[in-house]
Each structure stands twice: as structure tokens, then as C-alpha cells.
Structure 1
Amino acid sequence: MDLQLQGKRALVTGSSGGIGEGIAKTLAKEGVAVVIHGRNEPSANRVAQEITATEGKAFVAIGDLSKDEDALSVAETALSALGGVDILVNNAGGYDQVDWMESTPSKWADMFNNDVISMVRLVQHLAPQMKELGWGRVIQISSSAGVQPYAFGPDYSAAKAAIINLSVSLAKDLAGTGITSNTISPGPIMTVGFEQLWRGYAKTKGWSDDWDEIERNVVKEVLPNPTGRVGRIEEVASLVALVASPLGGYINGANLRVDGGYVVGVN
């Protein structure tokens, strides 16, 4: 299927590794010129170089999106490098697994600044020029925790719920502009961090150190889903590419889950 993305331009935040890296590489394969963003310049350069090595177009923007000045710099770098931004993928964010009584008000504020307000900053910097273009895609990456929170990490789950909410509000605000706003909410996804977390957990449970067995046990005992496995980065990235494309123009204000059925619900 031709997603009709050839020649489009995208900024993917938090794309120096993990899910963001996968999204950027998938878009680049579809002919999108991408700006790789992160706070670690060597990691961002690596991703960009791997894209250009396969004849894709990639540039780098470094900055901490929790800071107003850095967010502006990242937006300006993207606009300068690409000549405009058609697609904004707000993927950058952090996670700190703490219990309710350990999560201080200041930690809540930091979580919202890093995971929610960082997205707001880039929307406000880039949506106006999308309006001038008469076309655009704004995609927020949230989490299944946004609709099915855990007992632990309450600040994280609440921030992810806020992301889903702001996407709907933004879709309504941008009505009639040619710009859509959507959320994609991954469930458990196989990343380096995910594997490290559960290898550590496996040791406390006396499980084998064979990863295939660990994955089966995690899905069976801790994170059950009807599909019976953990998701892969490519499965998230493929949905992002569809939503970002002209073919996804009638998808707007939606929260699309990629979780194997992990979330118990009808939507």
C-alpha cells in the first residue's frame, strides 16, 4: 500500500532510541524527511546516520522539551532544516515508577511538565505554520496506562490520560484547518528498557534467564492480553505512519490502542 507520504516532513520527538526511533525510521522508509530529536546528541546522530545510510533524509535537533527555550530551539531547527513541518509526532516523555505516597507534588509537576506540557510547547510552535500549509498531522504517543492506570506510578498514568484528553481538544480547535490530532497508546512494547525491567523482575521470581520464557511468563502472570505476547516497536510505528498519511485523514480526535487487547474495554 502506498501511504502517499513521499515528500512529507516530520519532527519525531524522543526519537534517539526506542519507540521514537522506530517511528522515525518507518516514516523515513515511506519517503518522509525526518528530524531526529533527543537530549543525547551521539544517539540522535546514530539514528540519523542509519537513516541517511539507506538513502533517507534525516536531520538532528537536540534539546530538553521540558524547557521553554529548548522547545523553541528544537522547533526552529526542524523548520529550518525541513523548510516546514507537516507531521509532528509528540513521543518524548519520561517514566518514574514510584508509589502513591512516594510521589511528591513536585514529582507530579515534573512529570506533567516532561510528558504533557512538553507536547503543548511544540504544538504551539508548529501548528500555526501547519495552518498556513492547510495540512498537517499531530500525533501524541500516550500509553495504555492513560485509560487503565496502575496502582503504582499514579503521576505517569494521570499524565498519559491528560495527553489523550488534550489530543481531542486540539482536534476540535483545529477543525476545518486540514490538520488532524490523534493519540496512539501502546501497551507493553518490546524495547531495551522493557527487557531490562523484566529481566530484573525475572530474577526475583526465580524464572529462567531465557528471554522467550520471560516474555511468556510476563504475559501470563503480570501483563495478560488476548494476543498472548508483548508488542513490537514496528507495530506501533506502522500505525503512526498510517495516521500520519493522507490516507488517515478521516481519523481525528481518536485514541488508538496498540496493546494486544491489554486494556479491558470496548473502546
Structure 2
Amino acid sequence: MPEDHRQRRVLVIMPAWNEEGSVAQTLAEVRATNPTVDLLVVDDGSTDRTAERARAAGASVCQLPFNLGVGGAMRAGYRYALRHDYDVAVQVDADGQHDPAHLPALLARLEGADGQEPVDVLVGARFASGDDTYRAGGLRRLAMLMLAFVLSRLAGTRLTDVTSGYRLANRRALRLFAQHYPAEYLGDTVESLVIALRNGLVVRQEPVQMRVRQSGVASQSTAKAVLYLARAVVALALALVRRWPHVPAEREVAA
């Protein structure tokens, strides 16, 4: 059946590392607000009961033998999505920070609803809505602004939150990310967008609100903020100079 005449198949990919305290509740909320999507939890080498809780909540689970980081977990998720013929993959964090109630609007934006241009990679942006619920410290905020400035120039549009992990990828982006999604520090956020842009994909953002995590505590300190800034500079520099092979669009493969 032609793609335009069937319902789009959407897979929510949830990378999770030791998130037994929140993963079941997060899955339940995704299911309650988006009953037609499928759920995949990529257990990134957890040492707790994350996988068990995810299965009990009704999700498919891919268990990695050891911790690869978000980039490695998402590459596994993208390969699963491509292998099982999904049209859209959505990254949602297992800690409950990403509100799944935004997902219907994000899917509509990805597909070019209301006469807007279709998008290959859509980022749920915390700082685009004017909401100040999420606050970043001075040096960390400086790093985010620097990254956003450079990637906005590459994308030819304003991007305010390039480190956000709330993302949607269409099938064209799936084919690229299944092969070349980076696993290095900030690779799953900054470098993945550079790869997409260099392959001619359309990257845009849509305002969302972020919430505090349901379990665990995010540690912050001046030293960690300085380290984050330094790592961000290095990660961006490597992303800009690294050579990535071109991945043809599906129409090029078919031809």
C-alpha cells in the first residue's frame, strides 16, 4: 500500500540507564497520551530492574550488554525502527522530563501540517516557548548558546536548544542515523544534527515544555559547568571537521 494511504507507523524509543524508578510511569504516560504509537526501551546496560519494569509496562525491550551511552542506545533503537519498517522514530527520555502530550503536535509539524514545510529531524526546544521552567547555569547556558548559534547558521534557521533529547526523525533520517549515529559525548545531540544537515536533511525545532525528572537527582557544580563548556567546544569542533559519508535518499536507492 502506498505510504500516503496508510497510517504512519511511529516508534517511541526510550534510552534508559538505571531508570527503574521512572520508566514504567513514563511508558504509561506515553501510552495514555499517544495510544497508537509503539514503545521500545533500549536498556543501556542497566544494573537495576529497568528492563523488567519496562516489559511489565508493555514495552518491547532491547537490552545492551554494557553501557554505551545515549548515542549507542539510540543507534540501536534507530536500527530496530528501520528493520521493522517504522516511518517515524521519536526519542523520549525515560526519566519523565519529556512531556508526551506534545507528541501529536510534533508529529503534525514533522509531516508539514497546516501548509508548513515537511521536516526530516524535529527538535523539541525548551527555550523557544518563553517558558522558564528549565533553567541552566551561567557556563552551561553559555555553551548551549554557542552551540545553538553555530548550528543555526548551518541549518539556515533559528535553533535555540540543540542539546535537547526530545526529537523526531522521519524515515529519511532513520536511514542515516541507523548507520552513522554518533556515540561520543554530545554526539547524540550536536553531532547528529551536523550529520543530518551535511546530508541535506531539513532540521527544525518546535517549542515544548520540559519537566523535572521523576526520580534521581541531576548534579550540578561550577567545576562540572566549566567541564561541560570545554567538552562542548571540543565536540562542536570535531563535529564540524569530521568527514561523514553521504547516505542516499530512498528514491536514489530505488533508482
TM-score range relative to shorter protein? 0.3 to 0.5
Q: Which has the larger radius of gyration?
A: 1
Using the size of structure 2 for normalisation, the TM-score is: 0.36
Q: Which has the higher contact order (CA 8 A, sep 6+)?
A: 2
Using the size of structure 1 for normalisation, the TM-score is: 0.35
